[in-house]
Structure 1
């Protein structure tokens, strides 16, 4: 449990880097699903789709306000070829690695795609 706590206590930028490394290692991204994927909105009322690097972190966030949601894996290839391009088209944003009682980092989907591709080049 100590490892999880250390990761949650990282700042959002470091959690994002952790996210990129983990999803490229395990080739999957985690979301929360219940008749639709868990989302949030920002001040401009834009849709933010929530993603985590590992099941345990998604489950941790589901314990409170998203308790009716279940963690569900998304294949990395599908995330890169379908999800992120779809978010670009829909003007939605990936919300990366939100934590209980805290925010994650929200980036342009294009930036997330670039960062994943750069990480994959190292393999």
Structure 2
């Protein structure tokens, strides 16, 4: 489902930390994380570490499927799988998370353990 253009515009006005906070709230609520996939997951480099970008909604991921990620498509990851497999695996592989990049901004870079902690804190508010 495509996000309304006004919603996209408003969220893109947020700075990277605010978009990260939005990401955490949204994925906790809907229990889905979005990445870009094309014979493998989209990646980038930050401070000599491999980073994997993630988005809170399909439409935001799709908007970034250009330039270096041209040909990639948005793919859903269930939140429980993200928490139990993805983040621990990324930590053991010394990778970092790139949260909610936009076509014009890099997004918020965060270690997997810090993201896991933030998501767990948010989930506690739902219990």
Q: State TM-score, norm by structure 2.
A: 0.93
Partner SS state of residue 64, structure 2:
helix
Backbone CA RMSD of aligned residues: 0.8
Q: Distance in 1 between matches of 2:80 and 2:107?
A: 23
TM-score (norm 1): 0.96
- 3-state SS in 2 of match to 1:3: helix
Q: Report the CA distance between 1:66 and its aligned residue.
A: 1.4
* Count of residue pairs brought into register by the alignment: 122
* Counterpart for residue 73 of structure 1: 76
The aligned counterpart of 2:94 is 91
The residue number in structure 1 matching 2:15 is: 11
Q: Match for 2:37 among 24, 28, 33?
A: 33
Runs ≥4 residues deviating over 2 A: none
Gap runs ≥5 in structure 2: none
| Deviation per residue, 1:9-41 (Å, 9 max, x gap) | 100000000000000011010000001000000
Q: 1 CA distance for matches of 2:21 and 2:61?
A: 17
1:104 aligned onto 2:107:
yes
Tell me, in whole angstroms, the C-alpha distance in 2 between the residues paired with 1:18 and 1:70: 22
